[in-house]
């Protein structure tokens, strides 16, 4: 009887040892497969991040070049406008506080040269203000 108990205990120990070894091997195989899968996902995401960084740098470079081109295009207009204002301020008419309609047209021409829309005129309403005459 003792032999049967020892044989049963030995068989049970063998089954438990094999289950433990086989279970450990299955766990390791699953862990390795999971790690390989995540390594592939990580590599894909790193490539995606690198592509996004390159794309962002290209957009920034394009925006800087576009801005530089626009500034270069309007620089002559700015210089001309500055010269016009400086010369006009030296005249007697340039010291007047208000602008007449003829002088406002020059501002509209400068705005058009810069590619800006002139401001829309306000509606007169029931009692519009009279025009301001040119200074004497």
What is the enclosing helix (H) or strand (E) of 119? none
Q: What does pLDDT average to over the chain?
A: 77
Residue 38 has pLDDT above 70, yes or no: yes
Is the pLDDT higher at 13 or at 2? 13
State the Cα angle at 32 between 27 and 34, rounded to 5°.
95
What is the enclosing helix (H) or strand (E) of 131? none
Domain ranges of the chain: 11-92+99-113
Residue range 49-103, pLDDT digits in tens: 999 999 999 999 999 999 999 888 888 888 888 888 778 777 777 666 665 666 6
Query: pTM above 0.75?
Result: no
Residue range 61-74, pLDDT digits in tens: 999 999 999 888 88
The average pLDDT across 101-124 equals: 66
Reading the block at residue 66, the tokens are 């576009």
pLDDT band at 21 (very low <50, low <70, confident <90, very high): low
Residue 44 has pLDDT above 80, yes or no: yes
- Distance (Å, whole) CA 69 – CA 76: 13
- Distance (Å, whole) CA 97 – CA 132: 10
């Amino acid at each position: 009887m003792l032999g049967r108990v020892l044989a049963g205990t030995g068989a049970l120990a063998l089954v438990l040892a094999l289950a433990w070894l086989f279970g450990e091997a299955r766990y390791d195989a699953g862990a390795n497969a999971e790690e390989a899968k995540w390594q592939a996902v990580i590599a894909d995401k790193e490539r995606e991040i690198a592509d996004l960084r390159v794309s962002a740098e290209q957009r920034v470079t394009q925006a800087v070049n576009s801005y530089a081109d626009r500034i270069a295009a309007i620089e002559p207009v700015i210089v001309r406008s500055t010269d016009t204002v400086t010369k006009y301020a030296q005249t007697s008419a340039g010291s007047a506080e208000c602008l007449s309609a003829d002088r406002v047209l020059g501002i509209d021409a400068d705005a058009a040269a810069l590619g800006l829309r002139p401001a829309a005129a306000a509606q007169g309403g029931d009692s519009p203000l009279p025009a301001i005459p040119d200074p004497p």
